């Protein structure tokens, strides 16, 4: 694998059994991502794009094929090693921010650092810095129910970033937001990518996908079009 390749998939299949019948969610996926890329995975509902995201994020395993992440064969890692890999390398952002309503914005952002064993003083410092980074310095002590949808998504982005991951995986991150707020969130992703962070956006919306530098299309579990890298 080339030195600047972040991950590579070769011949990835993913099958499920539903109602006693096999369902082929992914079929012969071949995909390579370079360090610092901004990629959109574009496809309709049921196309397999979320399944692909889960395998990229080491939340699920393929039925067949080879997945290499940072030069390591993912299938050879045990559960502890996979958890460490996710914690160290990958930040997840979902359509619904999935914040804990009983915790303040600051405490929500601190959560991944608690699981990583970071000491309280350092956790707070890093969480405060990240909330300031996403424009929420004056909302740290607010509960999610006291924040707008866009502010909640910014908290979720801060939580994904606080562990300083190399890869951001965003699954329909603007799907629950109005157009103006969604545009602001997309601008933030562009800024993060400009800092040489690898970003993969999962979406059904071409307008959202167009923010990326490269687009791949997935239909019925197969990559049908590779797109092209945009001019910087």
**Residue 227 above 70 pLDDT?**
no
Domains of the chain, by residue range, sit at 2-225
Residue 141 CB-half CA count within 13 A: 1
d(CA 127, CA 133): 10
Lookup: tokens for 195: 């800092």
CB atoms within 10 A of CB 64: 12
pLDDT confidence of residue 83: 87
pLDDT confidence of residue 138: 95
The CATH number corresponding to 2-225 among 3.10.180.10, 1.10.240.10, 3.40.50.300, 3.40.30.10 equals 3.40.50.300
**Residue 94 above 90 pLDDT?**
no
d(CA 164, CA 161): 5
Cβ neighbors of 186 (< 8 A, separation 6 or more) are 174, 208, 211
Q: Where are the alpha helices (DSSP H) in 171-213?
A: 179-194, 206-209
- Average of per-residue pLDDT across 127-154: 94
Looking at per-residue pLDDT, the higher value among 232 and 154 belongs to 154
d(CA 84, CA 196): 22
DSSP string computed for 6-48: EEEEEEEEEEEEETTEEEEEEEEEEEEEETT-EEEEE--TTSS
pLDDT confidence of residue 104: 97
> pTM of the predicted model, to two decimals?
0.88
- Mean pLDDT, the chain, rounded, equals 90
Give the tens place of pLDDT for each residue, 10-63: 999 999 988 888 889 999 999 999 999 999 999 999 999 999 999 999 999 999
Give the tens place of pLDDT for each residue, 156-178: 999 999 999 999 999 988 888 88
Lookup: tokens for 33: 């991502």
């Amino acid at each position: 694998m080339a030195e600047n390749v972040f991950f590579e998939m070769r011949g990835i299949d993913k099958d499920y059994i539903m109602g006693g019948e096999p369902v082929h969610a992914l079929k012969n996926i071949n995909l390579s991502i370079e360090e610092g890329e901004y990629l959109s995975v574009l496809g309709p509902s049921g196309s397999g794009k979320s399944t692909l995201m889960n395998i990229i994020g080491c939340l699920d395993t393929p039925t067949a094929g080879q997945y290499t992440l940072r030069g390591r064969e993912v299938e050879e890692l045990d559960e502890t090693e996979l958890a460490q890999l996710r914690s160290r390398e990958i930040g997840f952002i979902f359509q619904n921010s999935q914040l804990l309503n009983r915790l303040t914005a600051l405490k929500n952002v601190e959560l991944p650092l608690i699981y990583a064993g970071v000491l309280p003083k350092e956790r707070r410092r890093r969480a405060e810095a990240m909330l300031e980074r996403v424009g929420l310095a004056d909302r740290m002590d607010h509960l999610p129910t006291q924040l707008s949808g866009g502010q909640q998504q910014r908290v979720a982005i801060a939580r994904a970033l606080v562990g300083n991951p190399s890869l951001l995986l965003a699954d329909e991150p603007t799907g629950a937001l109005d157009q103006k707020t969604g545009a602001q969130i997309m601008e933030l992703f562009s800024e993060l990518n400009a800092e040489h962070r690898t970003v993969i956006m999962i979406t059904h919306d071409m307008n959202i996908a167009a923010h990326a530098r490269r687009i791949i299309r997935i239909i019925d579990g197969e990559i049908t079009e590779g797109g092209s890298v945009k001019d910087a």
